[in-house]
């Protein structure tokens, strides 16, 4: 602690009135001040931001860093908005400033930042890349002094394509700065922290010193020793609203749902019961979300209903309890949500699960069984991000205006796959007109302008594609966005939609500008959004659900309703889908199913691998693979005996859902989509399990 700057220590004691630092904050000081890359691990509200910022501010003062010397990267704008005042307060202790730049930042504020850069800039990787390619920003002047990057909620990046995008942009930033940049990741509990730190180091892995700082045990059970978790079965969203309205009055409750439609339906049902309710999800306008978050932070007897937008470290004030409708898809997500409670001295972490469907009850029980075993998912980057190699080549061509056709790969300092292994992708970009080539130099071509050039190439800075939505306006006020199908489906009577927990009647649709004008209305509205990529459940979670059907109970309190419903599921479902000695194949009429309990991706892999005996027109499920109607035990044994694992088949829609797939050769785009749909390990385990036929009539 004595290594921290004296002014920082003074304010910790006198301004924050802390009696001392937390263990994580103590242990982070030495590696950060020694310039090491670091991963700081702690549950939600574990003081990770302060652990990083106090040490970085000390380095900034002692080493006399100038200009934008620290970047603070977050996955969510709302999290940046929440953190900016706090980080700026800490910076001003030492006469420094923090600034905020993301997609909602007005151009006037961006001009001010360009003219007078802050010492710490809070932003997203997408906004950082937009600075690198923008003709308005002198990126060498703006970003050339960066010494350290803090990546908050780094696990949220690492598990999808935003992580690959982040790593590539950081390597380009390193070249702009002309020096190695210290990388500090902040994360909640993960199963593989050392791997996550190595991943964050990018091209510097193995050459720069690095340390995982995790004073608390990384296992879920140890991280939440006083957690009180209860599982209830309510059967419907309406019943969930009744339970929430009647329980815990006078308390501040945060309710998580895993779809925007559920958030809207539950929010409307709670308001109908005169419960003070606020909503938060990605399709609400920024103003609508901010109003909800601010009101919730200040109110007491109220409920906020949210998707995962409030799962991360956004401060919503002093919570009394968390309620989960149905179940999240991962133990890590549950830990994030559980960690929103128990922050006040003398309080415990708590979560109430309200299952609205049988499958959700089984999923919640399986997830809590894994949690009780101390298991949490490893974070793994999606394989083969070839589409992002194409995106990065085009982005660097914009940034540098021209690239050497032999030296282009140097921009990423040898980081795979943004190295010379991407040469076939580069050649395709040239052949299809995305890049022009002249005298050994590469330039942005007409095809890139056509496909990605809208609004100064804004589409080129994001690694994911959001489904198209219509902006919903009441007068001049934006309420949020809705799915186009709500406006086009043939429905009797007035067209009403449900948004921000209120019913609106559509008065006019501007099809050309994708705008929908509404006015308040009574009655029921429709809440609907097109689902993104189907992730499905993991092998481990579905196997835990199987264990529950076989009799295992999670180490939590079960209400009488939940216990009774689980017993019903065990007596009704277990006989047809599980057996303690292994997996089963069942036949009901012409419906033949292999109950693998292997998860969506493993089942997609098994469908392709056992193509001679599987139904090839099926859509994969989490629990079973549909087999041919004429299957015999002999056919089954022969298929398994000659079954080398193969990647799943993908259709054109899956390839189109891969952003920048148009900039790839068709066979590489299809191979990339297939690799992401596969779970080879899970499929191999399922193939290795003993399998028996049940209720299989003679042919």
Mean pLDDT of 364-392: 94
465: confidence class by pLDDT, cuts 50, 70, 90: low
pLDDT value at 697 more than 70: no
Q: Is 453 helix (H, G, I), strand (E, B) or coil?
A: coil
* Candidate from 121-125, 546-550, 587-591 with smallest mean pLDDT: 587-591
Higher per-residue pLDDT: 451 or 264: 264
Return the pLDDT at 573: 74
Number of neighbouring beta carbons within 10 Å of residue 8? 19
- Tokens standing for 265? 């339906």
Mean pLDDT, the chain, rounded, equals 90
pLDDT value at 225 more than 50: no
Contacts (Cβ under 8 Å, ≥6 apart) of 227 = 338, 342, 348, 349, 350, 351
**Range list of H helices, 373-483:** 386-400, 423-431, 446-452, 454-457
Mean pLDDT of 135-154: 95
Q: What is the CATH number of domain 226-372?
A: 3.40.50.300
CA angle 322, 252, 74 (to 5 degrees): 60
pLDDT value at 382 more than 60: yes
Q: Is the bond preceding residue 48 a cis peptide, omega within 30 degrees?
A: no
Label residue 646 exposed, middle or buried (CB < 10 Å: 0-12, 13-18, 19+).
middle
455: confidence class by pLDDT, cuts 50, 70, 90: low
Return the pLDDT at 344: 66
pLDDT value at 218 more than 60: no
Number of neighbouring beta carbons within 10 Å of residue 118? 21
Its sign, for the CA torsion 293, 295, 298, 302, is: negative
Q: Which helix (H) or strand (E) holds 470?
A: strand 470-474
Mean pLDDT of 452-478: 79
Each residue's pLDDT tens digit, 564-620: 999 999 988 777 899 999 999 999 888 999 999 999 999 999 999 999 999 988 888
What are residue 521's phi and psi, to 5 degrees?
-145, 165
Contact 577, 654 (CB under 8 A): no
Mean pLDDT of 636-640: 91
Return the pLDDT at 474: 94
β-sheet bridge partners, residue 306: 256, 280
Q: Is 30 helix (H, G, I), strand (E, B) or coil?
A: helix
699: confidence class by pLDDT, cuts 50, 70, 90: very low
Each residue's pLDDT tens digit, 334-353: 998 888 887 666 678 899 99
pLDDT value at 222 more than 50: no
- Tokens standing for 553? 């109970």
Contact 101, 71 (CB under 8 A): no
Please compute, for residue 605, the number of CA atoms within 13 A of its CA located in the half-sphere on the CB side: 25
Q: First and final CA of the chain: distance in angstroms?
A: 77
Each residue's pLDDT tens digit, 470-505: 999 999 899 999 988 888 887 788 899 999 999 999
Highest mean pLDDT among 54-63, 633-642, 662-671: 54-63
Return the pLDDT at 224: 44
316: confidence class by pLDDT, cuts 50, 70, 90: low
What are residue 140's phi and psi, to 5 degrees?
-65, -40
Each residue's pLDDT tens digit, 12-35: 999 999 999 999 999 999 999 999
Higher per-residue pLDDT: 86 or 43: 86
Return the pLDDT at 135: 87
Its CATH architecture, for the domain 6-220, is 3-Layer(aba) Sandwich (3.40)
Q: CA-to-CA distance for 467 and 470, rounded, in angstroms?
A: 10
Return the pLDDT at 354: 98
Return the pLDDT at 467: 67
What are residue 584's phi and psi, to 5 degrees?
-130, 150
pTM of the model: 0.89
pLDDT value at 361 more than 90: yes
Mean pLDDT of 374-399: 93
How many angstroms separate the Cα of 413 from the Cα of each of 170, 204, 409, 432? Answer: 10, 9, 7, 26
Q: Where in the chain is the domain with CATH 3.40.50.300?
A: 6-220, 226-372
CA angle 309, 310, 314 (to 5 degrees): 120
Mean pLDDT of 156-177: 95
Mean pLDDT of 188-205: 93
How many angstroms separate the Cα of 432 from the Cα of each of 72, 103, 426, 653, 662? Answer: 37, 31, 10, 21, 10
Return the pLDDT at 486: 87
């Amino acid at each position: 602690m004595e290594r921290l700057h004296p002014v920082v220590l003074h304010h910790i004691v006198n301004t924050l009135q802390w009696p001392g630092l937390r263990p994580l904050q103590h242990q982070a000081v030495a590696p950060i001040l020694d310039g090491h890359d670091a991963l700081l691990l702690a549950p939600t509200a574990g003081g990770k931001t302060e652990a990083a910022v106090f040490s970085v501010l000390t380095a900034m003062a002692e080493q006399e860093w100038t200009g934008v010397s620290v970047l603070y990267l977050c996955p969510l704008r709302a999290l940046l908005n929440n953190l900016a005042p706090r980080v700026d307060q800490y910076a001003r202790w030492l006469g420094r400033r923090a600034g905020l730049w993301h997609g909602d930042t007005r151009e006037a504020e961006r001009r001010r930042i360009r003219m007078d850069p802050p010492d710490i800039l809070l932003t997203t990787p997408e906004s950082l890349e937009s600075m690198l390619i923008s003709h308005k920003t002198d990126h060498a002047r703006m970003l050339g002094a960066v010494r350290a990057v803090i990546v908050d909620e780094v696990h949220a990046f690492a598990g999808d394509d935003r992580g690959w995008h982040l790593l590539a942009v950081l390597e380009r930033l390193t070249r702009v700065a002309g020096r190695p940049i210290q990388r500090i990741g902040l994360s909640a509990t993960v199963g593989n922290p050392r791997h996550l730190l190595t991943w964050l180091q990018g091209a510097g892995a193995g050459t720069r010193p690095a340390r995982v700082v995790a004073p608390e045990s990384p296992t879920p059970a140890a991280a939440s020793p006083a957690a009180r978790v209860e599982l209830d079965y309510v059967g419907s969203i309406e019943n969930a609203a009744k339970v929430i309205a009647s329980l815990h009055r006078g308390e501040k409750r945060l309710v998580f749902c895993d779809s925007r439609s559920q958030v809207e339906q539950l929010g409307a049902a709670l308001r109908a019961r005169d419960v003070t309710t606020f909503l938060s999800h990605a399709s609400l306008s920024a103003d609508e979300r901010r109003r909800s978050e601010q009101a919730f932070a200040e109110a007491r007897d109220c409920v906020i209903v949210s998707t995962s937008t409030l799962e991360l470290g956004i401060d919503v004030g002093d919570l009394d309890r968390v309620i989960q409708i149905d179940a999240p898809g991962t133990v890590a997500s549950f830990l994030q949500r559980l960690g929103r409670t128990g922050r006040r001295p003398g309080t415990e972490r708590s979560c109430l699960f309200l299952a609205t469907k049988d499958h959700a009850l089984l999923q919640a029980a399986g997830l809590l069984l894994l949690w009780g075993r101390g298991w949490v998912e490893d974070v793994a980057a999606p394989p083969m991000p070839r589409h992002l190699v194409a995106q990065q080549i085009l982005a660097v061509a914009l940034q540098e205006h021209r690239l050497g056709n032999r030296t282009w790969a140097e921009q990423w300092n040898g980081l795979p796959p943004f190295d010379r292994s991407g040469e076939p992708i580069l050649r395709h970009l040239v052949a299809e007109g995305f890049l022009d080539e002249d005298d050994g130099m590469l330039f942005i071509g007409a095809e890139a302008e056509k496909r990605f050039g809208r609004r100064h190439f804004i589409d080129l800075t994001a690694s994911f594609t959001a489904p198209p939505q219509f902006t919903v306006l009441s007068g001049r006020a934006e309420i949020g966005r809705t799915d186009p199908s709500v406006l086009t489906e043939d429905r009797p009577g007035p067209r009403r939609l449900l948004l921000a927990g209120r019913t609106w009647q559509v008065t006019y649709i501007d099809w050309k500008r994708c705008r929908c004008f509404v006015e308040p209305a009574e009655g029921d509205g429709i809440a609907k959004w097109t689902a993104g990529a189907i992730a499905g459940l993991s092998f481990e979670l579905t196997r835990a659900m199987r264990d529950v059907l076989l009799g295992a109970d999670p180490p939590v309190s079960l209400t009488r309703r939940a216990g009774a419903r689980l017993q019903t599921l065990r007596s009704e479902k277990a006989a047809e889908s599980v057996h303690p000695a292994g997996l089963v194949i069942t036949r009901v009429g012409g419906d033949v199913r292999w109950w693998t309990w292997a998860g969506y991706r493993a089942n997609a892999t098994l469908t392709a691998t056992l193509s001679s005996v599987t139904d090839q027109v099926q859509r994969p499920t989490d629990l079973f693979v549909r087999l041919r109607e004429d299957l015999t035990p002999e056919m089954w044994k022969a298929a398994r005996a000659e079954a080398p694992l193969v990647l799943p088949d993908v259709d054109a829609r899956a390839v189109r859902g891969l952003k920048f797939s148009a900039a790839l050769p068709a066979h590489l785009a299809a191979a990339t989509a297939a690799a992401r749909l596969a779970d080879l390990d899970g499929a191999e385990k399922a193939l290795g399990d003993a399998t028996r036929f049940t209720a299989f009539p003679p042919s």
